[in-house]
Amino acid sequence: MSWLGFVLTFPALESAGFGFFWVAMGLFVGSFLNVCIHRFPVEGASVWSPSRSHCPGCDRQLGWRENLPVLSWLMQRGRCLGCAAPIHWRYPVVELIGAAVFYLSWRAAASQGWSFLVLDSIVLAALVVATFVDFERYEIPDQVSIGGMWAAPIVSFLLPALHSSGLVAVALAPGGAVDGVASLSECLAGMALGGGVLYGLGWIGKRASGADAMGFGDVKLMAAGGGLVGVLGTFQALQVAVFAGSLVGVLNILRWYLVVRARQRRRRLPNRGRPQALRTARVLGRYLPFGPYLALGIGIVLLDWKDVIDLLPFGLG
């Protein structure tokens, strides 16, 4: 039996043993996601070369013992073995998140077979990269957004089961069985809807406030996500994103308000400082990336996370 044949017939995707293996894979994929988060936003940088990681402090090439996900960071107490430069907590955290999204994909998709397990794992991993880059730099890497806009139609055509219950796909399906063309149509409708809604929101926001309310990266990301989750899934993902984004936005303004108030108190300013503090907090708290919440919505819908989807006011499920 060939290696590929072995992989394709590998028996028990749903077994605990395979789940354990897949989560361990997720840890190593998490290490690779760190490289992507670090290098994607840098013009001209490649994630493949240099292939070995270096310490930015002493430029020493790291050995395999220093590249073990999470473990190396813990054993080295978050410092480089050569120069003792601190290693950012983001590295072990992203590795753990890699393991977590591989676990969630396994829970959600293992029963549907290899193609769904791999698809969900890759898409969630890409969303993790988009999330961290957007938090850090207020931009979404084209490798994820444009890459996703290319991948979504191809995957939809090759894997019609992805849109087996899609509104457009079912309407176009010959005899009720969703084929590649029906699935591709659902994908394109989802892309147009996801990208279109965000483009429209951005246009309205710019009219209303005069500033760029929505980055074009968000439009591209939601177009890609819409192509993967379909028309209905796009509605659901947008609701999750708007709800989570608004909640964090309000908490962020509250946080700045408390910071400003604490500063005023130290300077012993009287209570009329409150409206001033609120105004300052609203300005400081205004700039929040939206990509992470779009990623959250797309991920939840892709995993078909019913506990969350059932809570949506317009679940349409």
Nearer to Zn ion, 81 or 259 (CB): 81
Contact pattern from residue 172 through residue 211 relative to Zn ion, giving x for each residue in contact according to CB under 5 A and a dash for the rest: ----------------------------------------
Residue ranges in 173-211 assigned as alpha helix (H): 180-209
Nearer to Zn ion, 61 or 209 (CB): 61
Query: Please, what is the minimum distance in Å from the beta carbon of residue 66 to Zn ion?
Result: 10
Enumerate the β-bridge partners of residue 86: 79
Nearer to Zn ion, 55 or 146 (CB): 55
In angstroms, the CA 196 to CA 229 distance is: 15
Query: Please, what is the minimum distance in Å from the beta carbon of residue 63 to Zn ion?
Result: 12
Nearer to Zn ion, 83 or 161 (CB): 83
User: Three-class SS of residue 100?
Assistant: helix
> Could you tell me the CA-to-CA distances from 317 to 149, 194, 231, 237, 306 in Å, in that order?
25, 17, 12, 12, 9
Query: Please, what is the minimum distance in Å from the beta carbon of residue 80 to Zn ion?
Result: 3
Query: Please, what is the minimum distance in Å from the beta carbon of residue 82 to Zn ion?
Result: 4
Nearer to Zn ion, 55 or 167 (CB): 55
Spatial contact of 22 and 99, defined as CB atoms under 8 Å apart = no
Under rule CB under 5 A, residue 88 binds Zn ion: no
Least Cα distance to 221 among 301, 117, 298 occurs for 298
Sequence-separated (6 or more) residues with CB below 8 Å from residue 42 = none
Query: Please, what is the minimum distance in Å from the beta carbon of residue 55 to Zn ion?
Result: 3
Total of chain residues touching Zn ion, rule CB under 5 A: 7
State the sign of the Cα–Cα–Cα–Cα dihedral 26, 130, 89, 300.
negative
Nearer to Zn ion, 24 or 85 (CB): 85
Contact pattern from residue 6 through residue 45 relative to Zn ion, giving x for each residue in contact according to CB under 5 A and a dash for the rest: ----------------------------------------
Contact pattern from residue 45 through residue 84 relative to Zn ion, giving x for each residue in contact according to CB under 5 A and a dash for the rest: ----------x-xx---------------------x-xx-
Nearer to Zn ion, 56 or 113 (CB): 56
Nearer to Zn ion, 62 or 197 (CB): 62
| DSSP secondary structure letters along 21-41 | HHHHHHHHHHHHHHHHHHHTT
Query: Please, what is the minimum distance in Å from the beta carbon of residue 87 to Zn ion?
Result: 9
Least Cα distance to 5 among 114, 102, 81 occurs for 114
In angstroms, the CA 265 to CA 270 distance is: 8
Query: Please, what is the minimum distance in Å from the beta carbon of residue 79 to Zn ion?
Result: 8
Query: Please, what is the minimum distance in Å from the beta carbon of residue 54 to Zn ion?
Result: 8
Task: List the structure tokens of 139.
Answer: 């931009």
Phi, psi (deg, nearest 5) at residue 9: -105, 5
Task: List the structure tokens of 75.
Answer: 């054993």
By CB under 5 A, name the binding residues for Zn ion.
55, 57-58, 80, 82-83, 85
